[in-house]
Structure 1
């Protein structure tokens, strides 16, 4: 039996209450927002009677104080241990993009009129005048999603007899940065699994979605999730005075070539289940000069967002090494051709420049240094990384990684130009849902039938796709990659063990298929971020409600 609840106003009110709280990632606002969510849950009779089912959990191994909220409702309809996990993040990105309207960024009541005065464009004016959207930082990404799940926790806490099984809702912090929230929450999920004998069968995220193009009127539900890696390149050169430009090797030139052949390259898209990832995009490109000089840079680095649907870290590293070799070959050829033409212009004798292509993965470079220096290097670089993290635990993971490589380079005997390729960010695992397991089949079936039922209440088509297209905490609910293939990730992360470890064992304790039944709107991470209220406050909670009931029944 399917249900359709009139939840619009209640979800709207919770959403507004949460949006009013500035909870920008890496600020105290994350803790304030978590406290509000915990307070709302604490006032429910169910949690007054069962306080052990509500936790205010401080994150572990974190550089700031912040918290998750975990709420569990145990059904009384039967004795099933089956459990569905609901999840959503409470942190937001910053508000500098609001400019002069910064003080109103978290005020959904005032923003429409302020935006109307600014006349930000026809589409935004139409959406304001329609009254169908709520504006505000975090409303789309993704406090409205948390609000819908909070409504469902309240609903089932008042009616546990409707559940033959259990539901757990996680409101986690730090999704926008390093996922300390969900990684910490995994330990509670394991604890509750052991304490109550729970059988986790599915996870439902409520992260945001938007239209794919201007004329796309669909609403979307996504099975699985995209994966994300951050392949990074440390490039050493040979310094020279600008007056002797051909006497050195500029690492910036090689980094520029890496970006040219990697960025937006469709050959590096990953296709699976009929869907294709966005190609890689450069997120950083810089050298290490701290001030102006007429000497070329000693080293430079770059890193690239790389989405995956089916590729493992091992496969991505192979492709990146191929691109590293290609870029190095191209630059050596280009420099020699330029030097030859310059010699012809000046009447000088041309001799081929001495540069040779040298491309390492971090694993290869590390092993070479171990061969040369033995355990002395292993101990030194490990101690250096541990001490670096101890000295500055808030250091960005990408900066930390490159500092470890800089330190390791000091041990190299051959100082000729080289590329070292490594991973320098947390691993967001791809999750592929194919129907290969019974849990996947049940999730696919439950979602499809629930959408079919709710479709009659939506004026737009609700469509399913096979990969959530943005980075999300869903990646910590399962592992689709071969475990052995993940060894490449560990071996090519300079920060592994000292600052970051992907929680493989903890994830395998959960290991459930995931679906994203989340908010819908426009302009995520932009000043004009807004959520479509009817779909998000009413359709989404009802799809989720029926998926839960069908999975547990």
Structure 2
């Protein structure tokens, strides 16, 4: 019997696959992202295994015409299953300038940089001339991870591995993770459909630098969380010539932003690692046009990283900080009024979105409130702006509450996940480190929380946590344009692990992939880890 021809099992053919997959540009929010799922299905269908069992490849609707792709290799006697997770969207490429046409052509781009390397930083120039790196958007983050998983599917089908592999590759990881949020629900359905038992969620995001010029190789036993507490500052308008007859949103915002940025109250430590401190990601004026009328409403979004905190704890801390900040704002404002013999316009309220919504429903009626929310939703397509607009529109119709600061959550939310204390994961990390050291003289280090944000956040959610209800109640766009399947995530109770190729400078013009790590080292490590589960 003639042996089936291998497609992606050598370093050379794996590099060819990567270059093909990268060439299918799939920037988040573009037609390329929509088309990619069909192209990857077509590529997977070249495997004899899927030609005979095409129903093992399925699409999951991720919204906006995008699809998550699942592809199952199923051994007839196996129930143990490894879920291979990747994302196929990339960030945009404006920074490539005149080289934009080559951003998705790794070999051509690498050659072009050798002709003219002026756009590259010095460390990237050094790497360029070693011939050890392949440049291009998506090479590192993270189409190589997807290609590694495709290689594993092929090898499992060729050699009849006695385990199940479920490839899950998703769109939209770079913005809202709509693809993985949809996948969380689908994973439960697929488990029941095919009688699977999930033993491991294995991502292959690349090894990210911890600091600039970091050449260490990392294996990750968890992923950092991210949540975005936000605030609408709604004061009172006035003429610029009579400033103390009103209160600007900017004046109010300055107090909370100063209190939030770098605030140690949110800093967490675990396994010798620390979360970065909060910072303001966006502060915006909601006044539409210029005039001598003051801007009485503005908004700010704050980035908070997480290890163990849940949404309820974050909101409690945020409200405490905001209450103190607005009290300071009130004191300073009243002192100015007193010094200038002006009567203050009122006292600043601090309210959660949940409290505002309850007040609006009682005052205006639920039907009217839904119409107001729809106005906010229809004003923009961006989920963060929609959340701001809903709060702003509600305050417009409940202006008796002003001046007020409304506290809410804006998307996205990535819960932290960690499996560092799981004995199974400890064994697999030790095996991976030994394989790299013994075979390739590569020293790998364990990081307990992947610092780049990844889709592992949507599996293995704490089955006992109820803090997510506070997120649901205080996210204005919940159930409208954004939600998270927490109950489905709580059913996905297998440990997480991230083993991917080494690369540098994700999201930069100098994004590059270490070729030996990608095409030789990591394939061997992944195969060794998986075979150890037979």
TM-score range, shorter chain: over 0.9
SS of equivalent residue, structure 1 residue 304? strand
Equivalent position of 2:129 in the other structure: 129
Superposition map of 1:137-286 within 5 A? 137-160=137-160, 162-163=161-162, 165-214=163-212, 216-286=214-284
For 2:200 and 2:28, how far apart are their aligned partners in 1? 27
Give me the TM-score of the superposition, normalised by structure 2.
0.92
Equivalent position of 2:3 in the other structure: none
Give me the TM-score of the superposition, normalised by structure 1.
0.89
Superposition map of 1:147-546 within 5 A? 147-160=147-160, 162-163=161-162, 165-214=163-212, 216-338=214-336, 343=340, 350=341, 353-370=344-361, 372-373=362-363, 377-385=365-373, 395-412=381-398, 414-435=400-421, 440-480=422-462, 482-546=464-528
SS of equivalent residue, structure 2 residue 241? helix
For 1:51 and 1:279, how far apart are their aligned partners in 2? 48
Q: Describe the superposition over 1:291-313 as per-residue Cα deviations: whole angstroms up to 9, x where unpaired.
A: 11111112100101111001110
SS of equivalent residue, structure 1 residue 483? coil
Q: Describe the superposition over 1:264-289 as per-residue Cα deviations: whole angstroms up to 9, x where unpaired.
A: 33332222233211111212111111
How many Å apart are 1:355 and its aligned residue? 4.0
- Is the 1:325–1:357 Cα contact (8 Å) retained in structure 2? no
SS of equivalent residue, structure 2 residue 417? coil
Q: How many residues align?
A: 525
How many Å apart are 1:354 and its aligned residue? 4.5
Residues 189/214 of structure 1: CA separation in 2 closer, same or farther (3 Å cut):
closer
Residues 41/500 of structure 1: CA separation in 2 closer, same or farther (3 Å cut):
same
Residues 213/499 of structure 1: CA separation in 2 closer, same or farther (3 Å cut):
closer
Residues 400/10 of structure 1: CA separation in 2 closer, same or farther (3 Å cut):
same
Q: Describe the superposition over 1:134-182 as per-residue Cα deviations: whole angstroms up to 9, x where unpaired.
A: 111111110111111111111111011x32x211111211111222222
For 1:265 and 1:151, how far apart are their aligned partners in 2? 45
Residues 426/317 of structure 1: CA separation in 2 closer, same or farther (3 Å cut):
same
Structure 1 residues 281-290 or 308-317, which shifts more?
Answer: 281-290
For 1:68 and 1:265, how far apart are their aligned partners in 2? 37
How many Å apart are 1:118 and its aligned residue? 3.9
Residues 469/483 of structure 1: CA separation in 2 closer, same or farther (3 Å cut):
same
Residues 275/40 of structure 1: CA separation in 2 closer, same or farther (3 Å cut):
same
- Is the 2:235–2:296 Cα contact (8 Å) retained in structure 1? yes
- Is the 2:460–2:495 Cα contact (8 Å) retained in structure 1? yes
SS of equivalent residue, structure 2 residue 281? strand
Unpaired stretches in structure 2, ≥5 consecutive residues: 1-7
Structure 1 residues 492-501 or 524-533, which shifts more?
Answer: 492-501
For 2:497 and 2:179, how far apart are their aligned partners in 1? 19
Give the alignment's Cα RMSD to 1 decimal.
Answer: 2.3
- Is the 1:178–1:426 Cα contact (8 Å) retained in structure 2? yes
Equivalent position of 1:346 in the other structure: none
1:35 aligns with 2:26: no
For 1:529 and 1:395, how far apart are their aligned partners in 2? 29
For 1:479 and 1:529, how far apart are their aligned partners in 2? 32
For 1:129 and 1:517, how far apart are their aligned partners in 2? 27
Q: Describe the superposition over 1:332-363 as per-residue Cα deviations: whole angstroms up to 9, x where unpaired.
A: 2333445566x4xxxxxx45635424211111
How many Å apart are 1:434 and its aligned residue? 4.5
Equivalent position of 1:21 in the other structure: 24
For 1:449 and 1:85, how far apart are their aligned partners in 2? 19
For 1:121 and 1:177, how far apart are their aligned partners in 2? 27
SS of equivalent residue, structure 1 residue 110? helix
For 2:416 and 2:24, how far apart are their aligned partners in 1? 32
Unpaired stretches in structure 1, ≥5 consecutive residues: 344-349
Equivalent position of 1:46 in the other structure: 49
SS of equivalent residue, structure 1 residue 322? helix
Residues 351/387 of structure 1: CA separation in 2 closer, same or farther (3 Å cut):
closer
SS of equivalent residue, structure 1 residue 510? coil
How many Å apart are 1:187 and its aligned residue? 3.9
- Is the 1:218–1:460 Cα contact (8 Å) retained in structure 2? no
How many Å apart are 1:399 and its aligned residue? 1.4
Superposition map of 1:58-137 within 5 A? 58-60=60-62, 62=63, 64-75=64-75, 79-116=77-114, 117-119=116-118, 120-137=120-137
How many Å apart are 1:455 and its aligned residue? 2.2
Residues 58/168 of structure 1: CA separation in 2 closer, same or farther (3 Å cut):
closer
Structure 1 residues 420-429 or 331-340, which shifts more?
Answer: 331-340
- Is the 2:286–2:297 Cα contact (8 Å) retained in structure 1? yes
For 1:190 and 1:477, how far apart are their aligned partners in 2? 11
- Is the 2:360–2:369 Cα contact (8 Å) retained in structure 1? no
